[in-house]
Amino acid sequence: MRRADARRREGDGVTTPRANDEYLLGHDEAEQRRLRGQDEVWAAETESFMDRLGLSEGKRVLEIGCGIGLGLPRLGRRVGVGGRVVGFERNHEYLAASRRLIRDQGLEQAEIFSGDIERDVLPEGPFDAIYSRWVFSYLPDVEAVLRRLRPLLATGGRIGLLDYNHDGIRVFPEAPRFDEVIAAVRRWFAIDGGNCWVAGVLPLNFVNSGYRVLGVHPFVQAGPPDSPVYRWVEDFLFVQAPHMIGAGVLSEAQWAAFVEEWERMRGAAGTILYSPMQVGVLAQAR
């Protein structure tokens, strides 16, 4: 078993194997709550990037790794009731949440497909756009997936991937324990074959997989301890720390030192956090 295939649950000290449909961050209640909060923090940037997908009334759009379905209403609004929105997701709990969401919101133009983007049968195209957010940083072979997606695009269709270029994340005044925990996050992504700088190499991945790049759109936020972006980073670290400790990329002592530093920073005047870069990369099949 690879090290990253084991997750130690908070408090119980028991290491359990990861199910096949689980990705690095897991799918428990705390993670689902974190995804909803995260969606609110990055709503404006997400909308602005979606505006570049070329969607309008009646178009067809596929979302890869739709998670609990938060992007589907945004896409549904753009294509209207005469359009087609397809969510594709691997995890069974998230599939159920996505299905509930489209039912509760009356998104009749939406449907959800189950599968692993790396190996399973894909929904039938063509699609005028393919969209994905925070999924490609977890994929070990991005180009293989891009090559699988290419035939699904309609002529002139666009693909837009919003993901991390993990540079830029810092707290000021300088916070060395924070930097240590961020280094652990990066190691954690890597041991599972992911790349938290994926957005930096997506243009090359697109070119190598038969696309031409139409644009690269970076987004950054900054804020003090009571800001949404500060709480977003805090939430990620506190939800995921037990899993990082379980995976062996962070020690209990490092975490304890960080928590002490974090409390101090929260109360200090002038503390400011910068987010990592989020980058939307837009491409078209060649």
Q: Alpha helices, DSSP H only, in the chain? A: 29-41, 43-50, 72-79, 92-104, 142-149, 176-191, 198-208, 228-246, 252-267
Can you tell me which of 4, 7, 23, 166 binds ligand SAM, judged by CB under 6 A?
23
Q: Is residue 85 involved in binding ligand SAM (CB under 6 A)?
A: no
Pick 5 or 261: Cβ nearer ligand SAM:
5
Query: Can you tell me the distance from the alpha carbon of 179 to that of 237, in angstroms, rounded to the nearest whole number?
Result: 12
Residue nearest to ligand SAM (CB): 67
Pick 94 or 211: Cβ nearer ligand SAM:
94
Pick 91 or 109: Cβ nearer ligand SAM:
91
Q: Is residue 116 involved in binding ligand SAM (CB under 6 A)?
A: yes
Distances (CA, A) of 45 to 171, 221, 227: 21, 10, 16
Query: Which of 193, 254, 238, 250 shows the shortest CA–CA distance to 4?
Result: 193
**What secondary structure does DSSP assign to 79-124, as a single string?**
H-TTSEEEEEE--HHHHHHHHHHHHHTT-TTEEEEE--TTTSPPPP
Q: Is residue 5 involved in binding ligand SAM (CB under 6 A)?
A: no
Can you tell me which of 49, 127, 131, 134 binds ligand SAM, judged by CB under 6 A?
134
Amino acid at 260: E
Can you tell me which of 40, 47, 51, 118 binds ligand SAM, judged by CB under 6 A?
118
Using CB under 6 A, which of the segments 89-97, 195-203, 244-252, 273-281 binds ligand SAM? 89-97
Q: Is residue 117 involved in binding ligand SAM (CB under 6 A)?
A: yes
Can you tell me which of 59, 60, 84, 133 binds ligand SAM, judged by CB under 6 A?
133
Residue with token string 């005044």: 173
Can you tell me which of 78, 84, 90, 177 binds ligand SAM, judged by CB under 6 A?
90
The answer to whether 57 and 80 have CB atoms below 8 angstroms apart is yes
Reading the block at residue 80, the tokens are: 């209207």
Pick 76 or 265: Cβ nearer ligand SAM:
76
- Residues binding ligand SAM: number (CB under 6 A): 20
Query: Site residues (CB under 6 A) for ligand SAM?
Result: 23, 25, 35, 39, 65-67, 70-71, 89-91, 94, 116-118, 133-135, 138
